[in-house]
Amino acid sequence: MSSLTTRTAREMLADLVAKRVSARELLEAHVARNDALTAKLNAVVATDLARARKDALAIDDARAKGEPLGALAGLPMTIKDGTDVENMPATSGNPALADRPKDCTDADVVKSVRHEGAVVWGKTNVPLMLGDFQSYNDIYGTTNNPYDVTRVPGGSSGGAAAALAAGITPLEIGSDIGGSLRHPANFCGVLALKPTWGKISLRGQVPPLPGRYVDLDLGVTGPMARNAGDLRLLWNVLRGSAGSPSRDVKGARVAVWDDEPGFPLASEVRDGVKRAADAFTKAGAIVERANLPFSGDELMQTYNDLLIAVLGATFPRELYDSFVMQRTQDLEAIREGKDPFGASAYRLRATASYRDVLAAMTKRQAMKDKLAAFHASGWDIILSPISPVPAFPHDHSQPQMARTLDMDGTKIPYMTMLNWIALATALHGPALAVPAGRTKTGLPVGVQLIGPSEDRLFDYAHVLEERLGGFNPPAI
């Protein structure tokens, strides 16, 4: 990494305040870093350098005059291309949106960072309509993992995570409905916070399609960074408050959840969970294995009932209608036990009635109540894996659900990528992804911290950083 782009966001801001570097110089350093790595990574797929340079110069002028400035004043940033940015409308990897008019307005989260003086200069790559665990599309091509370019950076915030790890941006904003913040953070060795559902506005994200905004169930937007302090900084900006002060984790009770029937897990991922558990023990926390107060199967059935219904509601009319036309055959297939987890079940969930969705929501509420009681009984946080495997090789084969992953020499279904992330997403809770070392071949491995509130999760993330080393940059 370029020395100017390796520093933490807070160090960069301190340098800006002390006038050791200008906002324009810092911007150009990150643009140059991207230029040097575009051929290898393809993380940043659109830029507005004219606006960014103008904004950076304005920040420098205001600082020279001693004018009050925001918490991110002069810090360059990129934004995931599922989020509208003025003059850089979201395409979400969809060719049908490639020619959107440039006069879109900033998404609410972009307004938040601009209000604090961030210099937004680029958009990062995503999969088609944010719907994959890797990041490629017909508009911008494929984004590679900076630790191994033959492998995926995750999805759908894959370009964001790759850009962070490679020193192209110090902060990013992603989104998550199926692990889209946590999987990329895991695969690229950075941090991400999936906030509690409903805490941060999603206005300006695609999907849903432009002009059709609605608060969809499950989906959130949240911060990404290379360390816990920077992540907390951006989180505070996005929510508009400083939050509660840090606390020691000594005496806290940590539930380790890394063994669930039907949830595959590679040995090197399990090793990462163990490293994190040992770190908490050494920090004085009480760490024990624990089971959820409901089964993983119940969780996944309910999550899929809700997730696929939400996704189906955003499908193009022609696709949705084609699913409806097959309902009779699909119902028959399910009754005969021919297709309990495949295409028939997917189409039925995508076209579910509100009565069916309400039934799933009722089950979800019962699980939320059980999880609240679980925490109230003394468990402060849950420590668990994020993805069943480390970053995997690129695979663009179709259909997506037919893909497989290699787990310790055994093939597992591609969609098991949803298993470990489902708890926080389905039950609307916060989860923080943090690095927990590397595999024998040098791929990052992370864990997620799940608890009742965001602020407390940062305390545990700081412990893991201190004891496991935190972000370890790629040799790219």
| Catalytic (active-site) positions | 80, 156, 180
Residue 405 falls in which region: left (phi positive, over 0), alpha (psi -120 to 50) or beta: beta
CB 126 within 8 A of CB 156: yes
| 274 HSE (CA, 13 A, CB side) | 9
CA 26 remoteness from chain centre? 26
CB 96 within 8 A of CB 63: no
CA–CA separation, 184 and 190 (whole Å): 8
CB 184 within 8 A of CB 161: yes
Q: Which residues pair with 447 in a beta bridge?
A: 434
CB 321 within 8 A of CB 376: no
Q: Which residues pair with 46 in a beta bridge?
A: 123
